[in-house]
Amino acid sequence: MRILLLVFCTISLVFCEPRAKILSSIPPAKEIYINLQTQKCDKDCLLKLYEDDMLISFLTQFEPNINDDELKSKYLSLSGQTLLDLDTNKIAVIIPQKIIKSYAKVVQNVLSSYILETNAKISLKFIQSDNETTQNIQNALNIARESGIKLFITPFTQVGTNVLNSLINKDEIAYIPTINKATTTNISQNIIFGGVAYDKQIAYLLLKAEDKISSFVDGSPLGDYLASVVEAMANKDVYQAQISGKDINIKEQLSRPDKINNSAVFLNLPLIKAVLVATQLKNLEVVPQKLLSTQINFDPHILTMIEQKDRNELYLANSINLSNDSLRATAALFNINLDHNFIAYSNAIGLEYLYANFINSTANRIFKEQIVFGQVNYDVKIYKTDGYKFIQENSTD
């Protein structure tokens, strides 16, 4: 672990004019695809590989110096890269403080812990956009551009994502840790996404369900989205129970408890509401077949807030796959639990991606996740609970 003072040497926490340090010119790096073929694949050969959907072979046999704009475009699209002419180690982090609130501190702390742990030669410039209006995001981009910055980390909502998509230049790259590409349309290839693959998580949770499925929602955008994915992927009618307010009383708000009984229940709710639902169902003499939830409730607090007897059939999906104990410990110094804070985990992946691909091609990587079609490709693991710990059931690619 590095000495804590290093963080002040490598990070520029700037909210006005930049004071970033410039390194010597470092050529942008690319994802490495190893070519085991002995014969060179010419333009016609590459085009045939692409048209035959042999995409991995296409990526491994592509030569960066090939003189064909169409093939270059296909390669960049598949690998999630853009050719940038960079001579700086600066990355701008645009923070819509009023929108993401306490997560702003999470973003700052996890990026700081990654740089401290790896001693990455990165100069971060934090820029407050306040909110996600077009004018404020444009102003933030302008501040970064005045410093020659072309790499961005932008923890935006869908609103900010759409604005950024309309403003980003062709020679810039932005990483959005909070949104999954599957929820967007008509997005520039210069934007990389790191949000949770909820559809993938739900697909594996549905393997635990039988014929009868129900879903709890609270009217929030995320809850409604998760419920819509459950219904679409279940390919059958899903009973949806709507709850609202802070003081949840299932007995008063649940009109058809029989629809919940003996069903696989998706808890498309934040932690506190999910706990209240899970603990109150027994008061209605309702016994779910399974309790299922995505990343939103993969939280150690659930182990103390729900008694074991009420969560014997609780299954949780998780896409955090941290194997580096040293980074885990460094993040903990910044009050970040990288095993359970997905926003922090995704931001760290994004910082490493930008650094290793566009600033320092020799950097050692901590994370195993790859970028596929502009989206971080996350593994999905299903967990049960046992006492005060999570027990992994499976692993997927």
CA–CA distance from 345 to each of 149, 323, 327, 382 (Å)?
23, 12, 11, 18
- 130 has a pLDDT exceeding 70: yes
- 328 has a pLDDT exceeding 70: yes
Q: How far is CA 236 from the centre of its chain?
A: 29
Q: Which domains can be identified in the chain, with CATH numbers?
A: 43-79 (no CATH), 90-193+322-377 (3.40.50.2300), 198-318 (3.40.50.2300)
Q: How confident is the model at residue 153 (pLDDT cuts 50, 70, 90)?
A: very high
Task: Check residue 23 and give its pLDDT.
Answer: 34
Tell me if 164 sits within 8 A of 134, measured CB to CB: no
User: What's the pLDDT tens digit per position in 159-204?
Assistant: 999 999 999 999 999 999 999 999 999 999 999 999 999 999 999 9
- 206 has a pLDDT exceeding 60: yes
- 278 has a pLDDT exceeding 70: yes
What percent of the chain shows pLDDT beyond 70? 84
What does the CA dihedral 136, 137, 142, 148 come to, rounded to 10 degrees? 150
67 Cβ neighbours under 8 A, 6+ residues apart: none
Q: What is the mean pLDDT of the chain?
A: 86
Q: Give me the residue label for tokens 């010119």.
A: 25
Give the residue-averaged pLDDT of 262-281.
94
Tell me if 152 sits within 8 A of 358, measured CB to CB: no
Give the residue-averaged pLDDT of 9-27.
38
- 378 has a pLDDT exceeding 70: yes
Which tokens is 63 given? Answer: 């030569």
Give the residue-averaged pLDDT of 123-147.
97
- What pTM did the predictor assign? 0.79
Taking the C-alpha atoms of residue 389 and residue 396, their distance in angstroms, rounded to an integer, is: 21
